[in-house]
Structure 1
Amino acid sequence: MVTEFNTAFSFNGLPIAYADLSEVAYSLVKEGDPYEREIGDFLLDWISESEHILQRTSGSTGSPKEIHLSKKAMVKSALLTGGFLDLGEGTRTLLCLPVSSIAGKMMLVRALTLGWELTVVAPERTPLWSVTEDFDFAAMVPMQLQASLKDIDRVGKVLVGGAPVSKELREALVGKNTIVYESYGMSETASHIALRKLNPPENEDSPGEAPAFQALPGITLEQDKNDCLVVYVPFLSKDPIQTNDLVSMQDAQSFYWLGRADHIVNSGGVKLVPELLETRLEPILNRRFFLTGIPDTVLGEKLVLVAEGKPDEELMAKVQESGLLEKYEVPKAVYFLETFKEGKSGKIQRPEILRELFKGE
């Protein structure tokens, strides 16, 4: 299947014609490192006669599943992003994400479709350390962006996604020359369908405060009766995409993400949104953590805190005495796990962590 291709495309400094993609792909598969073999496999799939690409979802909120994405839809998504971020032909781009993820695949699709000068490095925590040149654009997960702050001014624009961006990281971006956009999307939407610019801040008096996500042109939004986001993406499907994301709509095209409906804890008839409470606790907990509900004979569910690292007997007292939570919002217990399981994007895998933590119970 011949897909849209821009002849300005180059790969690690070498101009590549469409007819040469298969040769490049086979070379990567045969001789490359594991991340390069992933790129080769994707390129072979991309130029194959199939009209779809097989993608595995992240599994961050449930069991991973395989979905089929239309190549035409992926191309339209690439064009939409390129237009919105003003990233045209000749954009010097760094690919430092695994191509097993939809984010990594879409970086390749954008480069092929828009004619970018693509430089590829291993998807490691500090991707800028292995290259010396400057770039117009890169996509990173929050962990990579955090580790690259010292060198991030070498990149004109950064798209960050795959996991929530902490307030600490947003505050660290204040004063940086790099323009950073946070993305909202999922595998099913062929990467992001909404963006928000994290810096410079919209309100100079509130550095680190994130604005609302803004839907990309042509994409429309609704909120269902349960306050969950419903997305209409014309180039993907005539049918709406129902999410489990709780949102607060600012207007018809923008929203604030609050948390996941399937994470809500109903404790004694009070509905608690863990992600909202986690945001308040971020400044005082210097470790990764999350809040969740577990069965309780009295309350039905009780809110508990799950923290990464060695047990700290003072952690619960710190939460209780912080004044950041109302009395009914304070977790009833704290559990520690030495290391959190995470996906390739750095997003913690809550279901897997809870299964490990409570196995045998």
Structure 2
Amino acid sequence: MIPHYKNIHNRFKINGIHIDKEAVFLFSYNLIKEGDAFEKELGNFLLDWFDDKETIELTTSGTTGTPKNITINKQSMVHSAIATADFFNLHPQDKALLCLSPRYIAGKMMIVRALIIGLELDILTPSSHLDDLQLDKKYDFVAIVPLQAENSLARLHQFKKILVGGAKVSDELANKLQLIQSDIYETYGMTETITHIAAKKIGEDYFNVLSHATVSSDTRNCLVIDAPSISTEKIITNDIVEIQNSKQFKWLGRYDNVINSGGIKLFPEQIEAKLTSKLTNRFFISGQPDAILGTKVILVIEGEEYKIDADFFNSLSKFEKPKEIFFVSQFSETATNKVNRIQTLKSISKLKK
């Protein structure tokens, strides 16, 4: 039987303290009154979770468009938590770490999983690294973003199962993660799907879909998600995929980002993967109108301008090689510190005028 969102598992702990439904309100008020910004967010979420409403307001990250508020049913979040527990074999009293902001869905769902599954949850102030983690602590489960993984490679052995999501895992980072003796997964999901609906072990090509969802593709070859327990309607994405079957798919790139250059379709994400090991600064591939090609490939690099030799692009096909390179002193970012390509490209247009 699926538990109800109003109930707290009797094995749930936070920072080593057992908290039942009677104690959760006092605990939350203390966090809001005396805690730092991160702890206040945690306290506010717990109060929102146990209020009289059946829904909760979430804010999308704004990675591929303008951030927006959406309303999610709390019981749907429970279904997502149970699907995660089944997929990753999580059990009551497993030890988990929260090191993501409760402001967004990934952090919220770590809390919900702990409440519903009965995890023993420790909290660590969100940062780009896990340096503040106690060296003698061992955990069964954690969710992090690629930047945290990159900056905390020496700490990742402290976790049995690691979910890396929120952004694409680069080939360079994937190679480093495969050397770590932990079960590390790249996840696929978004706010609208109540965090991940699929995961794959680092180094594998195909995502495996969790038990509560199935997938297909539309006429654009974009992913369509059918998850009745979290959404009454199918979720149509702008992610171009290669469908293996209803439970497996390979991610190719964003439909919004596809570059049609001289009749050849190019995926910026695949070009970026080939350049990641060569560029230390943040960068991305995009397209700009061109009189001959229709759209030409461009490379946008964050930082001061420097010379790049032609042989730098030897790993790319002739169609993939950038026809122009732009340097931007600082990229525009979303509220979750991801590169906002649209706004950054607008700054380039202003510079060219």
Q: Smaller-chain TM-score range?
A: over 0.9
Q: Deviations over 1:82-109 (max 9, x none)?
A: 1111111001111000111110000000
Question: Structure 1 counterpart of 2:109, which letter?
Answer: M
Identity of aligned residues (%): 41
How many residues align? The count is 348
Aligned residues of 2:62 and 2:335 also touching (Cα < 8 A): no
Match of 2:29 in 1: 26
SS in 1 for 2:346: helix
Secondary structure, in 3 states, of the residue corresponding to 1:129? coil
**Please, which of 217, 234, 252 is the counterpart of residue 240 of structure 1?**
234
Aligned partner (choices 307, 310, 322) of residue 331 of structure 1:
322
Contact residue 163 and residue 346 of structure 1 kept, 8 A:
no
The answer for the alignment partner of 1:205 in structure 2 is none
Question: Against the structure 1 CA distance between its residues 2 and 88, is the aligned structure 2 distance closer, same or farther, given a 3 Å change threshold?
Answer: closer
Question: Aligned to 2:331, which of 330, 337, 340?
Answer: 340
Match of 1:66 among 66, 69, 91: 69
Hey, what's the Cα distance between the residues in 1 that align with 2:100 and 2:133? 14
Letter in 1 for 2:162: V
What is residue 200 of structure 2 aligned with on the other side? 196
**Separation in 2, partners of 1:134, 1:128:** 14
CA–CA distance in structure 1, aligned partners of residues 132 and 37 of structure 2: 19
Structure 1 gap segments, 5+ residues each: 199-208
Deviations along 1:299-356, one digit per CA (max 9) or x if unpaired, are 33221101122212125x2444x1x222222111111123333446553221232233
Alignment equivalent of 1:354, drawn from 338, 345, 349: 345
* Residue deviations 1:4-47 (CA, integer Å, cap 9, x gap): 32021111111111111111111111111111111111111100
- What letter matches 2:237 in structure 1? T
Find the counterpart in structure 1 of residue 251 from structure 2: 257
Offset, 1:195: 0.4
Counterpart secondary structure, 1:195: strand
Matched residues in 2 for 1:290 and 1:228: separation?
A: 21
1:180 is aligned to 184
Q: Give matches, 1:1-361, under 5 Å.
A: 3-132=6-135, 133-198=137-202, 209-314=203-308, 317-320=310-313, 322=314, 324-343=315-334, 346-359=337-350, 361=353
Tell me the distance in 2 between the aligned counterparts of 1:39 and 1:281.
Answer: 38
How many angstroms does 1:180 deviate by?
0.5
Measure the CA separation in 2 of the matches of 1:319 and 1:234: 48
Q: Deviations over 1:40-81 (max 9, x none)?
A: 111111001111111111111111111111100000100110
Q: CA deviation at 1:138?
A: 0.9
TM-score, normalised relative to structure 1: 0.91
Aligned-pair CA distance for 1:289 = 1.2
RMSD of equivalent CA atoms: 1.8
Give the Cα–Cα distance (whole angstroms) in 1 for the partners of residues 140 and 191 of structure 2: 25
Structure 1 Cα separation of the partners of residues 225 and 115 of structure 2: 27
- Divergent runs of 4+, >6 A: none
SS at match of 2:319: helix
